[in-house]
Amino acid sequence: MTTIRRDGADALLTPAPPSPDEAPTSNASHAYAVLKRRIVDNFYAPSATVPVQEVSAELGMSRTPIRDALIRLEKERLVELVPRYGFRVLGMSAQGMLDIYQILAGLEAVAIELIIERGPTASEMARLGAAADGLAAALEEGDLDLWAEADAVFHTALAEVSGNRQLVATVRQFAEQTSRARAVTLRLRPAPTTSTQNHRRLVEAIAAGDAVAAREIHWNQRLRSGRELADILRRLNMRHL
């Protein structure tokens, strides 16, 4: 089990040590979850190099399951293995992030189609409406960290209300990668006023059963956000190293 403690804007992970009778596969899954969360939360900064020995001591497990976890993370293009040392956290590619936003736009467009075709329940619409309200409340408070959390809640709800479990899993995989870039660029972007308004407009279009308007609102919003984020990453000269 992994717990997260937030002190201000920082997120520190305090992994619970695995039980002595845990199987190696369970250890590898635990290491994978902890390391991925640290990377996604920028606890390990882009280009940081981390020794396996350090992670082994922190997690209280042998190097073997940690290496298994790192192999998975390498396949996801989050780390690069450093022989006889550990790993290096890969940077974020502006084009790569734009590609991911385009993929998410398409996947979530499918979710919207499924929701409207089936007809959302009152509780499902209430969930989407509450998520949009969370964005508006965070914007009114001027709390960008809270807004980012509310945005993640909204897009999770949008995928889950579709009822397609494979779509939910795929969206989650790509969304985890965007959170790294969002954390870096959040305070370099304009106030998310337009984005907040568009999320509300999307909920209203879904409630009205207007698939054409919903797709257009969503597609334009996702791609605009992706271009905005990619432009900032280019200016910061962040890339896979």
**Lookup result for tokens 């984005």:** 195
| Mean pLDDT value of segment 221-225 | 94
Q: How far apart are CA 32 and CA 28, in angstroms?
A: 6
What count of residues does the chain have?
A: 241
Q: On the CB side of 27, how many CA atoms lie within 13 Å of its CA?
A: 21
Specify the pLDDT at position 10.
35
Closest CA to 65 of 36, 95, 23, 98: 23
Q: What mean pLDDT is predicted for residues 58-71?
A: 94
* Tens of pLDDT, residues 129-162: 999 999 999 999 999 999 999 999 999 999 999 9
What is residue 7's predicted lDDT score, i.e. its pLDDT?
Answer: 36
51 strand-pairing partners: 86
Give the Å distances, CA to CA, from 231 to 64, 97, 145, 173: 40, 10, 21, 23
Place of tokens 């900064």: 45
pLDDT tens, residue by residue, 182-212: 878 888 988 999 999 999 999 999 999 999 9
Name the pairing type of β-strands 86-89 and 49-51. antiparallel
pTM: 0.75
> What is the DSSP code (8-state) at residue 60?
T
The structural domains of the chain, ordered by start, are: 2-89 (1.10.10.10), 94-236 (1.20.120.530)
Please write the tens of the pLDDT for every residue from 85-137.
Answer: 999 998 888 898 999 999 999 999 999 999 999 999 999 999 999 999 999 99
* Stretch 212-238: mean pLDDT: 91
Q: At what angle do helices 193-208 and 211-236 cross, to 10 degrees?
A: 160
- Decide if 108 contacts 222 (C-beta within 8 A): yes
4: pLDDT strictly greater than 70: no
- In the structure encoding, which two tokens stand for residue 102, read together? 């385009």
Asked whether the beta carbons of 241 and 47 are under 8 A apart, the reply is yes
pLDDT of residue 238: 53
Cβ atoms of 230 and 97 within 8 Å: the answer is: yes
